[in-house]
A and B are shown apart, each in its own frame.
Chain A
Amino acid sequence: MADLSANPTKSHDWLAAPLLVLALALVPPVSIALGDPFLVKVATRIVVFAIVAVALDLVVGFGGLVSLCHAGLFGIGGYVVAILAYHDFNAEPFGLGALTFAGTSNLAVTLPLGALVAGAIAPVVGAISLRTSGPYFIMITLAFNQMFYYAAVALQKYGGEDGLQIMSTITLGPLDVSNRYRFFYVALAGLALTLLVITRMSASRFGIVLRAAAANETRIVAVGVAPWLYRLVAFTISGIFAGMAGALLAASQQFISPVDMAWDRSGDFVVMAVLGGIATVWGPVLGAAAFIVLELVLSSWTQHWHLAFGLMILLVVIFLRGGLADLRHILKPRTAGGAHG
């Protein structure tokens, strides 16, 4: 059951998130020392997916709502960056009704914009989806994900099914961030922000209501709180960060395609969150890292790595119910009050 104390992170757990960010910050120097730039590429991917997994955790872990449309929101953020960069590169103004804007490859503009567009669509999806609950919620979010996917395929001007390549140089204000190492720290700052906001939210009164409604909705309604608005806000904030992550992904791989927003990617995000442990805010970071490293290692061993991966997901769901974050309880002696609930 959800832990409803004001601060769900016990003892030294509050250290976990800063430590994870710090550990990730050490990747570029290590990568330079080893002369292996691939390491940073992997770490960037981990950071980007960790942002979505942490954002999803707010909805799945604390809100108890299984959303399968986060890949869609993620992709929307990515398309905002890629489309504006396309208009920048082709020096073709971007028309939105009667208004026209110049395209831009400046992340200082496109990154918040990507987050905002996803954040504007998320409450629409949320308002409709939250009328339902349980399995209906899962299915309707899945349907929305498919809708976004096919919408992206329909964007013939922007590559349709083949996706959209970013040809221009991505900058952040005056700074050229096409440098892999520099970009990594931009993404990491995004993850740090996500962790900070979601940690603060989950420990606040807002977070307590959200968790309480997931644990027992009847009771929370009986004390006079309507959980609908809390859930909508959680879903929207989650969508904003998912959009930001998508924007970062598009900028980092200079490419976005409908594949990045397919429904199984939404499933991957849920797996990352659960694999890391949805009882904590920082667990999903571990989950994203484990997911991507496993994907790399297994796929280098055999082309049939999906088989092992599927088995692993099954085993985690059956045996490691608190995810990787639960392993910390094995590392230290349990005290009477410290047993994980």
Chain B
Amino acid sequence: MTAALFTEQLLNGVQFGVMLFLIASGLTLVFGIMNFINLAHGSLYMAGAFAAAVTQRLTGSFLAAILVGMLVAALVGVVLEQVVLRRFYGRNHLDQVLATFGLILIMNEGTRILFGPTPLRMNLPDALSGSIEIVPGVPYPVFRLVILGVGLAVAGALYVIIMKTRMGMWVRAGASNRAIASAMGVNVPLVFAGLFAVGAAFAGLAGIMAGPILSVQVGMGEPILILALVVTVIGGIGSIRGAFVAALLVGIVDTFGRVLLTPALGSMAIFMLMAAILAFRPKGLFAVHG
């Protein structure tokens, strides 16, 4: 592998990693605070992508597509949370898995009814569709760099909000011990509803940014959801920092696995990584719960 190829693949890996982080950040906080497994989180990624693709077709504006896509994803997330998911916080994990599994079927089929089975296309504005040479001899698509930048910016903002603000303190308190945080006066249900909306918007954002690279189609959420779950679990459920480290790790291992190994073996690489990490650290790299 030449240095140029290595640089390109490393960038691809990091870019895929930050995209996984966008999805996993909401997942891990919801998981950590409410002890709730949301398999339907991938549906929010899909909702964002579809809303953006349709908005772009109607208005022609990429910026409007991003805004509407995130808003729709957040809205769908809040409606799901208030109408269905709320009932399952006190239930066991089996019920949660089943209920959200049912929701995946409903969301996928609902999307198919609304938009039809053919994948939608999203086009990049001219300013983002070129490529630049970051290292001499390595042309790299601008849009992928934008994804990288957006992902890192979101990660940075999340870090500041969660580590430095009062609201972030509530979230951390809720993640490490919900009962005690509640007893100390944190309005956990409210924090959670807000968190769910933000997590959904981020998942939607990831879906929108995946739109121009992959195609916008029914069922696009599940493969990425499984990877996001892997990230969540490797990082330690409830840990934002863990999710970030794990997302980069998974993104890089997955990308290099596909280049160096056969595609199928490459797809197995991250699952082997996960099994290996959990075998030695059963609660992930950055365990939040004691």
Contact = CB atoms under 8 A, between A and B. Distances in A.
Interface of A: 60, 66, 68, 128-129, 131-136, 138-140, 142-144, 146-147, 150-151, 153-154, 160, 263-264, 267, 270-271, 274, 304-307, 309-314, 316-318
A136 B109 contact: no
A143 B284 CA distance: 14
8 contacts: A132-B278, A135-B237, A140-B274, A140-B275, A144-B275, A150-B268, A312-B102, A318-B87
Given A304-B112, A307-B110, A313-B98, A132 B283 contact: yes
B56 interface: no
A60 B97 CA distance: 12
B104 interface: yes
B210 interface: no
A158 to B, nearest CB: 12
Nearest to A152: B264
Given A264-B222, A317-B99, A150 B31 contact: no
B19 interface: no
A154 B109 contact: no
A271 B268 contact: no
B268 A147 contact: yes
A270 B32 CA distance: 24
Given A128-B275, A132-B283, A307-B105, A153 B267 contact: yes
A316 B110 CA distance: 20
B264 A153 contact: yes
B226 interface: yes
B101 interface: yes
Given A150-B265, A270-B101, 18 more contacts: A128-B278, A132-B282, A135-B35, A136-B237, A136-B282, A139-B232, A142-B226, A143-B233, A143-B271, A147-B271, A153-B267, A304-B109, A306-B105, A309-B102, A310-B105, A313-B98, A313-B101, A318-B99
Contacts of A150: 264-265, 267-268, 271
Contacts of A138: 37, 93, 97
Contacts of B232: 139
Contacts of A134: 93
A274 B102 CA distance: 13
Contacts of A313: 98-99, 101-102, 105
B167 interface: no
**Which of B87, B113, B278 is packed against the most chain A CB atoms within 10 Å?**
B278
Contacts of B262: 154
A306 B99 contact: no
Contacts of B97: 66, 68, 138, 267, 270
